[in-house]
Amino acid sequence: MSLAIPPGTDLSKVPIAPNPSGAPPNFVDPPSLAAVTYGITSTMMVLACGLVGLRILSVIKKERGLKTDDYCCILALILSSGYGILIMLSNKTARHAWDTPISLLNDVWFKRNAALSIIYGPAMFFAKAAICTLYLRIFNTMAWMRYTAWGTIVILACIYGSMVPVYLVYSIPYGNEKWDLTLAAKIGKADKMAIGIGAVNVAFDIFLLILPVPIIMKLNLSFRKRIGLSAVFMTGIVATVSTVLGLYFRISVYRSKRSPTSGDATWVAAATYITVLVELYVTVMVSCVPGCVSSWRNILRETTVITTLRSLINSSRASLSRSRNSSRDGRTKTPSVRSDEAGLAPKHEFELQERKDKEVGITKTIKIQQTEV
């Protein structure tokens, strides 16, 4: 975007970039990613809060107290939620560059952009640190895992921690600088760093994804249980996909800014914010999966609703099985033998006994089901 704007120009009528098709700008009802931003942000926020809540509920149930990984997860959720709120407040520019007036890039927009840049590093660090400290707690007896996890935490702290001073320098005006368009060129100097951070995210997500697999495969468990336990940790694949998309959009933003006449910086930037938000929330949720599985086994499975549903299902199966057996017996015996001649109880006594059998059958089924799980 060129900063050579004649004095006195009405910036509310000047688009950030010309439309490649030559059509005039649409400042009234242009295509926008605002609805997508609201939808994804609110959905991810609800899901993440729910999973973190289950995690804390599991901690309370076990009466073990919050550990380091729990605190990291909670901090990551708070920072990610702040990031999401700022994105929703900044979505007026979530449209094509040729449909976005320069006037929207005001002091409020630059301040929110600075806040987003500064929050991201700590949010991502605590999200990934929650996974590393979870590994430390679960696999604490493995020396190589302890060294690897602590080493990873230190490296992540250095990388994401360095983002804060860098963006404090490039996103905030100093001296005679102001919160206006002149700050855009200064902010652009940190774009290459954003691409590097995106690549780091992909590398560490893949690393954290495969880190516990060798240990799990060596556990003294059946193959089926090892695969199931691996699947719990392999939920990080979703986070890896989101980081790959985030890297792609970071590169696209960089290219768009370098080619203002043909690029679409605001649209691509909005898409980048969405993928970064998903990346943050999914990382938080991945760190909660083991705790949520524990919550399901120890808490939710024993609630009245779940127990009732399971009882109804088992009762229906038992009744269906008995009705089939009764039908087969009825076809062979009822036409030729009377109940009194066969020494059977009267009809009302037989029905009462059958109800007792059903109750016993239901109780046994529930106990077996609980033991198996």
Q: What is the pLDDT of residues 169-208, one digit of tens each?
A: 999 998 888 888 888 888 888 888 888 999 999 999 899 8
Q: How far apart are the C-alpha atoms of 8 and 340, rounded to whole Å?
A: 108
Sequence-distant (6+) residues with CB within 8 A of 28 are: none
Residue scoring higher pLDDT (10 or 267): 267
- pLDDT of 336: 38
Q: Does the pLDDT at position 234 exceed 60?
A: yes
User: Is 9 in a helix, a strand, or coil?
Assistant: coil
- Interhelix angle 107-138/68-89, rounded to 10 degrees, is 160
Q: Is 55 a residue whose pLDDT tops 90? A: no
The larger pLDDT score, comparing residue 39 to residue 233, is at 39
Q: What is the mean pLDDT of the segment spanning 328-357?
A: 42
Q: How does pLDDT run across 112-163, given as a tens digit for each residue?
A: 999 999 999 999 999 999 999 988 888 888 899 899 999 999 999 999 999 9
Nearest to 32, CA basis, from 88, 79, 70, 82:
88
Matching CATH number, 11-298, of 3.40.50, 3.30.70, 1.20.120, 1.20.1070:
1.20.1070
The β-bridge partners of 15 are 101
Please report the pLDDT score of residue 112 as a whole number.
92
Q: Residue 202: what pLDDT?
A: 92
Structure confidence by residue, pLDDT tens digits, 16-52: 888 888 888 888 889 999 999 999 999 999 999 998 9
| Dihedral, CA of residue 316, residue 318, residue 320 and residue 322, to nearest 10 | -150
Give residue 223's pLDDT band: very low, low, confident or very high (50, 70, 90). Answer: low
pLDDT in tens, 72-94: 999 999 999 999 999 999 888 99
User: Which own/partner contact pairs does 87-92 have at CB distance under 8 Å and 24+ positions apart?
Assistant: 87/37, 87/41, 87/116, 87/273, 87/274, 87/277, 88/37, 88/38, 88/41, 90/116, 90/273, 91/32, 91/33, 91/34, 91/37, 91/38, 91/270, 92/34
Instruction: Give domain limits for the chain.
Output: 11-298, 304-372
Please give the pLDDT value at position 116. Answer: 92
**Hey, is 28 helix, strand or coil?**
coil
**pLDDT given for residue 90 in this prediction:** 87
Residue 268 has pLDDT above 60, yes or no: yes
Token look-up 């229906």 returns 316
Residue 160, burial from CB neighbour count under 10 angstroms (0-12, 13-18, 19+): buried
pLDDT band, very low/low/confident/very high, at 261 (cuts 50, 70, 90): low
Q: What is the pLDDT of residues 308-329, one digit of tens each?
A: 555 655 666 666 666 666 655 5
Q: What is the pLDDT of residue 156?
A: 95
- With a cut of 50, say whether residue 341 has pLDDT above it: no
Residue-level pLDDT at 154: 96
Mean pLDDT of 220-242: 71
226-255 per-residue burial string, b: 16 or more CB within 10 A, e: under 16: beebeeebbbbebbbbbbbbbbebbbbbbe
Q: Could you tell me if residue 18 is left (phi over 0), alpha (psi between -120 and 50 degrees) or otherwise beta?
A: beta
Distance CA 267, CA 29 (A): 15
**Which alpha helices (DSSP H) does the chain contain, by range?**
34-62, 68-89, 107-138, 143-170, 182-188, 191-210, 213-217, 223-233, 236-258, 265-298, 304-333, 347-372
Distance between CA atoms of residues 303 and 54, nearest Å: 14
Q: Taking all residues of the chain, what is their mean pLDDT, rounded to a whole number?
A: 77
| CB contact at 8 A, 295 and 58 | yes
